[in-house]
Structure 1
Amino acid sequence: MASNVEKRKLKKILVISYNFPPEGGPAVQRVAKFCKYLRRNGLEVFVLTATKRAKITDPSLLENLENIKVSKTRDIGVLFRGDLKKVLRSYFPPDTAALWRLTAVKKGIRLVERENIDLIFSTSPPHSSHIVAEKIAKKTGIPWVVDFRDEWSNNPSFYKYASQLQHKLLEKRVLKSCSHIIAVTEKGQNNFEELAGTNNVSLIRNGFDQEDFLHLDAENGTVKKNKITFAYAGRLNELHNPVPFFSALNLAINQGNIDTEKFCVEIIGSVENRKWLNDFPRLDGIVNFIRYQPHPEMLKRLAAADALLLFATGMNNTEFFPAKVFEYFKLNKYILAILSQPGELWQVMDDYGKSYLARESIIEEIREKFVELYEECKSNKRVKPADDSFVNQFSREAQAKKLFHIMERSMGNSK
């Protein structure tokens, strides 16, 4: 089969992604931008995704995807609720999207055969997208590139998974069956190389889309406001834990480090984010929660802030880069980053040159960095522009070109 594929030129790809616009949130940004720019690279892009009710919708993410052909199949697993959903995950690994394969595989095979697809690209989580892709690739014999936005068995949350052995076996099967593996961190790249026993692994970090920033006023956020504003965008959870920051902010207030009448924090995202403030009544009115915003509106709010917040917490055996960090870089803002420990993310943040870095376990260190940045913002100095060569390496357009070349090299490497 490989010898036949070698003679084919890459023209058509099938993208398998459980989540896709108009669904909103972080799970769709990377794949949507890949589709946009791969199409501009001349590929005909077909997408296979799931029909389901999205918690968040963001129609703005459909812009520039008009020429992408999207097919959907039903995930019957969404009919499971509550405890039944937990049972589904326990008995049908790897995740609650496991039953999507019952409809997606057949549809995918038909698409490949009818449209003469040259290559499959699948992205996770959920990792069920790779299981669907594996079965389609095995049946059709075409190359298959896998993209891990988060790691699998080396994910910081893996300790919570039931049937860990089954997960590891599924992961190894995927890694051994695919033509090429893509990770979003150097640590992830190294982990996958070790697990797969191959160096056929590439690094493509998350990034920003230059065109998303064209509507922003270059001077936005530089005008003196009544309040110094620190902003955060995204969900809050164990890996994006605001408690160390809230604790440090509480301490700074108690020590009289800031004028609470002239300072506020905006947290943009799910309404569920508000529960993280329950143990900090003193911060009510200082920390404000804003419900999920369409991507363009979210960027406007971040651009209007004096500084941005980044939480990357709870890391143990790997590192996780919050996808928003690259849009933070493009916005040319000061960043207060609270991280688990010095490492890969710490180094990238330091290379940016306008980051104030602190470890999540040392509240006094967070307070000191916060007060230092607060005073910097209060001085109203103009922010020095970021180094273009550093920022532009995270352009979605450049990353899609790298992916395109990986796909071209993968032709003839089906298994």
Structure 2
Amino acid sequence: MQISDSQSKKNARVLIITYYWPPSAGSGVQRWLKFAKYLPEFGWDPVIFTPENPDFELKDETLLSEISAQTEVLKFPIWEPYNLFRKLKREKAGDTSKVLEKSKRSLMDKFGIWLRANAIIPDPRVFWVKPSVNFLLDLVNSGQFQAIITTGPPHSLHLIGLQLHQKHKIPWLADFRDPWSKWEFLDTLPMTSWARRKHEKLEKKVLSKATAISTISPIFQSEMEALSNRKVDLLTNGFDEDDLPDDWTKRIPSSSSFEIVYTGVIDAIRNPIPFLEAMKSSLAHNKGNVMLRFVGKVSDGVKTYIQADDWLSAHVKLEGYVSHEKVFDFYGQAHLLLLILTDTKNAKGNIPGKLFEYMATGKPIIALGDPDGDAAGILQKANAGKVYAHSDMEGIRKFLRDFEPEVNHTPSPEIQQYSRKNLTKQLAMILDRISDK
């Protein structure tokens, strides 16, 4: 996207502080990559502040091409304790993130998890806070920006926004892609009551001091409004029409097979096993030529479960991680898209970013999650799919038995409200509201 010099000179500048940025991959990257893409059209030029050497496992180099030449990106070194932990254990990048999924943990694993839970608060990126504030303060004081945005997790990035705001009073939007003190991930850690209170204290300070707060789902919005006793803006994730390939409407799945596709992460809190059991019991005899494809990272436990079953091994394909661009090849093959939502305390507000991309394809969706949650409401309103509880085996089986694969699908008009451009317009309105612009 090209912005003329005359337009750019009229725009205000917003500093976006994010840990995840290309070539990192995932929904956290997509959210702010797309906001940055469209913000100049609504009067704001984004300046990205991100680590120079972040510790992440999944990369997608193709996302680099989506960064506009006019988008300024500031990269600053970060030190993370994962590096030290990895050296002590002689592990490769990414191995440390699998510790919580292990059924058997070494003493070093247990010690590392305890430290993460109780000594590194709010998260391992907290060591980036002080040097980042020192680096950015001169830029903020010199009037380089008219507003700042921090996005978490990692929630330590909100502490950068907090300090910059306190020192300069610059308008500050704190964006929460997940809750903080009530985040289900914290429940997987052996956290002391002292550590939990520390999270709550830091969260309360951020919620009370930020000029504005945003989050991704109505449930999270309500919960955060109750915690903060103030207005919280809703900014869902969405889809980018530019991501749909030009020949998208010509991509017709095979009529000789039944293809189910899941894209994204399968981990400790996203359990596909109920669907695998239902698929086997309902389709093994009725639709022999069926294939479920997992496109993305799959936990070792689920891999082992699939490999131990002859029928599943023959009808489930682990495609591994692919670029976001290539994901659309799998969407094109699919008759049905599978969505695995969490089965945890945050389940009602769990709206993964790919839900909107799924809906944009026009393909029918089956999801495992909370039937009364936000994702279920969005799907129902758009007549785009159905959410079943993880325990509703009979409901899932019946859906699969009755499902008739089609080749042509048309997205619901409801999806347009979730286009990245429309959502960015809402973001710009928030920035206009909190700044002098």
- With the length of structure 1 as denominator, give the TM-score of the two structures: 0.89
Q: What is the rounded CA distance, in whole Å, between the counterparts of 2:246 and 2:325 in structure 1?
A: 8
Q: Residues 288 and 191 of structure 1: is their aligned pair in 2 closer, same or farther, counting only changes over 3 Å?
A: same
Letter in 1 for 2:381: D
**What amino acid sits opposite 2:59 in the alignment?**
T
Q: How many Å separate the matches in 1 of 2:156 and 2:128?
A: 8
Give the secondary-structure state (helix, strand or coil) at the position aligned to 2:213. strand
Matched position secondary structure for 2:276: helix
CA shift at 1:104, angstroms? 1.6
Identity %: 26
- Give the Cα separation in 2 of the matches to 1:172 and 1:208: 32
Secondary structure at the counterpart of residue 157 of structure 1: helix
CA RMSD of aligned residues (A): 2.1
Are residues 55 and 277 of structure 1, via their aligned partners in 2, closer, same or farther at CA, if it must alter by over 3 Å? closer
Q: 1:412 Cα shift?
A: 5.3
1: CA distance, partners of 2:253 / 2:11: 49
Structure 1 window deviating more from structure 2 (305-314 vs 345-354): it is 345-354
CA distance in 2, matches of 1:412, 1:192: 26
Aligned to 2:236: 205
Return the match for 1:151 from 174, 179, 182. 179
Task: Indicate whether 1:196 and 2:228 are aligned.
Answer: yes
Match of 2:98 in 1: none
CA contact (8 A) 2:13 2:46 kept: yes
Letter in 2 for 1:211: D
SS in 2 for 1:117: coil
CA distance in 1: counterparts of 2:399 and 2:271, whole angstroms = 17
Report how far residue 93 of structure 1 moved. Answer: 0.6
1:119 deviates by: 0.5
> Partner residue of 2:292?
265
- Of 234, 256, 266 in structure 2, the residue corresponding to residue 236 of structure 1 is 266
- Is the 1:263–1:286 Cα contact (8 Å) retained in structure 2? yes
* Distance in 2 between residues matched to 1:206 and 1:21, nearest whole Å: 17
Q: Cα 1:148–1:364, aligned 2, differ >3 Å: closer, same or farther?
A: same
Offset at residue 40 of structure 1 (A): 3.1
Distance 1:216 1:276, change over 3 A: farther
Is 1:387 aligned to 2:412, yes or no? yes
1:271-329 deviation digits (Å, cap 9, x = unpaired): x4454142241301211011211111112211221110011131325421111000001
- Deviation of 1:16 (Å): 0.4
Tell me the CA shift for residue 225 of structure 1.
Answer: 4.3
Q: Match of 2:352, SS? A: coil
Residues 76-123 of structure 1, C-alpha deviations (whole Å, 9 max, x = no match): 124232544652442121112111113222122133234621111111
Asked whether the 8 Å contact 2:359–2:384 carries over to 1, the reply is no
Give the conservation status (yes or no) of the 8 Å contact 2:132–2:160: yes
Find the residue that maps to 1:284 and give its secondary structure.
helix
Bigger drift between 399-408 and 343-352 goes to: 343-352
- Which residue in 1 is equivalent to 2:212? 180
Counterpart of 1:61?
Answer: 63
Partner of 1:278: 304
Please name the residue that 1:72 is paired with.
75
Question: Is the 8 Å Cα contact of residues 253 and 335 (structure 2) preserved in structure 1?
Answer: no
Query: Quick one: distance in 2 between partners of 1:84 and 1:76?
Result: 17
Secondary structure of the corresponding residue to residue 265 of structure 2: coil
Bigger RCO (CA 8 Å, 6+ sep) = 1
Given candidates 185, 196, 202, the residue that maps to 1:164 is 196
Report the Cα distance in structure 2 between the residues aligned to 1:410 and 1:113, rounded to whole angstroms. Answer: 18
Pairwise mapping of residues 8-407 of structure 1 onto structure 2 (< 5 A)?
11-50=12-51, 51-62=53-64, 63-77=66-80, 78-81=82-85, 83-84=111-112, 86-114=114-142, 116-161=144-189, 162=191, 163-199=195-231, 201-220=232-251, 222-253=252-283, 256-259=285-288, 262-270=289-297, 272-273=298-299, 275-280=301-306, 281=309, 282-316=311-345, 318-373=348-403, 376-377=404-405, 380=406, 382-383=408-409, 385-388=410-413, 390-407=414-431
Q: Does the Cα contact within 8 Å between 2:349 and 2:374 map onto a contact in 1?
A: yes
Q: Is the 8 A contact 2:296 2:319 kept in 1?
A: yes
Q: Count residues with an aligned counterpart.
A: 393
What's the TM-score, normalizing by structure 2? 0.85
Larger deviation, residues 153-162 vs 315-324: 153-162
